[in-house]
Amino acid sequence: MIRNTAVFESEEFRQMLTLAQTMEEPPQQDGSLRQAWFISRAHELVSEKEKQLGRKLTACVVTFGCQMNERDSEKLRGILRLAGYEESESEDADFVLYNTCTVRENANVRVYGRLGALSVYRRKNPEMVIGLCGCMMQEKDVVEKIRRDYRYVRLVFGTHNLHRFAELLVASLMSDSPVIDVVDKDDSIVENLPAERTYPFKSGVNIMFGCNNFCSYCIVPYVRGREKSREPKEILREIEQLVADGVVEVMLLGQNVNSYGKGLSEPVTFAQLLQEVEKIEGLERIRFMTSHPKDLSDDLIEVMAHSRKICRHLHLPVQSGSSRLLKIMNRHYTKESYLALVDRLKAAMPDLSLSTDIIVGFPGETEEDFLETMDIVRQVEYDSAFTFIYSKRTGTPAASMPDQISEEVIKDRFDRLLKEVQRIGRQRSSRFEGQILPVLVEDRNRQEAGLMTGRTPHNLVVHFPGDEDLAGKIVDVRLNEARGFYYMGERV
């Protein structure tokens, strides 16, 4: 992959690092200066270790879960890099950190599996430090299990203290026993932390943290805490700095971006924030996720429809087509109101691409409920859909609901849904055949030499002949041939 090679730290943070190096003790107040102090301290410890071993130390961060976790991992990598670690793509490294997800049971299972598989490398390198962080660590029984059965894990922290990673890293490098630090709540937002972006030309930008919606199946509000928005000026400043560093596309991130700005001292709407982001010179494309249908305003539709930069793609999770189940899911919309929203969106933007998330097998789901889901999928005609088998999450209201659905029934429904979603997706995706669209070139094609891969504003993947130096540029490509969910094209 064509990867970024440098850590991006803001001018403010660079000044803090210089200042921190002159301080004997870490500043008491939580914030980026304190973290800068610990980064310098970690750097000293890493250098000492390198002298002892006579080689460089390496670190590997593995991400599970959603874009929020991807973005968090970029921050973790940025800190590790400033602490002196070389990045390793393989888990055969001196420091291995798993940034975990717990949205469905299989996410947890994968983490335990990977952890077990690390024993090969551990035997080879007894100095290896293994760390776990992220959503799964906010669950008490998980941390208990790690303490009991995975004693070789040296560092555990959660989602609320991720911004204190530098400090926790130093603690684990200096301690003989595991450092386990998970807190239930932390309202501070530490701005200005460095990050190592995966791509030089695009970046996620958190606009808010947490979730207040408590959909009855979902564990996210329990592990990510209450919703809190970043100040618009901090978001705009971060994007300006990213653009100055070569970024042309941003993805604004939040569990429910449509409720952005509610708790701020001067409330701002998401539509207003987008208008400000649009003004940033040099920024070419704006994406965002996720949109909760219940909070998607007509103002937002208006802003999207008139924007030059906001991509014509909306991820609008429906979860189910049954109004009866949507109520029990605590989603606050009905099949009818969702369809009416889709009509308004399509009327304002006829070429809009829509994608969604759907859960199959929610407790009590009848064949009739399921047929409502099949029906909404046919009516909306999604460009793509992520289909999930309901997973019981301890502590959520749905976990103790009666009528959990048998595996057999779920499997049958899941297969029928997947077939339909793919049939419609293929049909929808081919609607651009023959058109010329601007494509942000992302990477070389891994299967075929001489081909580059990029995305249209609608988030469709296109492969076309081109050179590597096109990466990060937006070029016009004719979409010659639709092949299922991607295109073969040529530059014009």
Binding site for ligand F3S (CB under 6 A): 65-66, 68-69, 101-103, 135, 220, 223-224
Per-residue interface string for the shown chain with ligand SAH, residues 78-117, x marking contact by CB under 6 A: -------------------------xx-------------
Stretch (H or E) spanning 313:
strand 313-315
Q: Is 172 or 291 the residue whose CB approaches ligand SAH more closely?
A: 291
In angstroms, what is the minimal distance from the CB of 246 to ligand SAH? 29
Residues 12, 72: Cα–Cα separation, whole Å: 20
Number of amino acids touching ligand SAH (CB under 6 A): 17
**How far, rounded to the nearest angstrom, does the alpha carbon of residue 52 sit from its chain's CA centroid?**
38
Per-residue interface string for the shown chain with ligand SAH, residues 236-275, x marking contact by CB under 6 A: -------------------xx-------------------
Q: Which region, judged by CB under 6 A, interacts with ligand SAH, from 50-58, 108-116, 212-220, 424-432?
A: 212-220
What are the start-end ranges of the E strands in 6-164?
58-63, 86-87, 95-100, 129-134, 153-157
Among 388, 418, 430, 451, binds ligand SAH (CB under 6 A): 388
Contact 462, 438 (CB under 8 A): no
Stretch (H or E) spanning 353:
strand 353-360
Instruction: Tell me the pairing of strands 436-444 and 461-465.
Output: unpaired
Tell me which of ligand F3S, ligand SAH, ligand SF4, none is bound by residue 234, counting a contact when its beta carbon lies within the kind-specific cut-off of 5 to 8 angstroms.
none
Q: Is 215 or 247 the residue whose CB approaches ligand SF4 more closely?
A: 215
Name residue 288's beta-bridge partners: 252
Q: Does 393 bind ligand SF4 (CB under 6 A)?
A: no
> Tokens at residue 163, please?
């911004």
Q: In what order do the strands lie in the sheet with 353-360?
A: 313-315, 353-360, 384-389
Among 260, 270, 288, 390, binds ligand SAH (CB under 6 A): 390
Q: Is 288 or 432 the residue whose CB approaches ligand F3S more closely?
A: 288
Q: Which region, judged by CB under 6 A, interacts with ligand SF4, from 30-38, 212-220, 374-382, 426-434?
A: 212-220
Alpha carbon distances (Å) from 252 to 203, 219, 316, 319, 380: 9, 22, 15, 22, 24
Residues 304, 287: Cα–Cα separation, whole Å: 10
Q: Does 214 bind ligand SF4 (CB under 6 A)?
A: yes
Contact 353, 313 (CB under 8 A): yes
Stated length of the chain: 492
Tell me which of ligand F3S, ligand SF4, ligand SAH, none is bound by residue 104, counting a contact when its beta carbon lies within the kind-specific cut-off of 5 to 8 angstroms.
ligand SAH
Q: Which region, judged by CB under 6 A, interacts with ligand SAH, from 182-190, 214-222, 225-233, 433-441?
A: 214-222
Site for ligand SF4 in 271-330 (CB under 6 A): 292
In angstroms, what is the minimal distance from the CB of 471 to ligand SF4? 33
Q: Nearest Cα to 331, choosing from 213, 212, 224? A: 213
Per-residue interface string for the shown chain with ligand SF4, residues 238-257, x marking contact by CB under 6 A: -----------------xx-
Residues 228, 262: Cα–Cα separation, whole Å: 8
Tell me which of ligand SF4, ligand SAH, ligand F3S, none is bound by residue 214, counting a contact when its beta carbon lies within the kind-specific cut-off of 5 to 8 angstroms.
ligand SF4
Q: What's the CA dihedral at 441, 442, 448, 449 to 10 degrees?
A: 80
Residues 191, 193: Cα–Cα separation, whole Å: 6
Token pair 């001067």: residue: 266
State the residues that interact with ligand SAH by CB under 6 A. Answer: 103-104, 217-218, 220, 255-256, 290, 292, 317, 319, 357, 359, 388, 390-391, 393
State the residues that interact with ligand SF4 by CB under 6 A. Answer: 211, 213-215, 218, 220-221, 255-256, 292
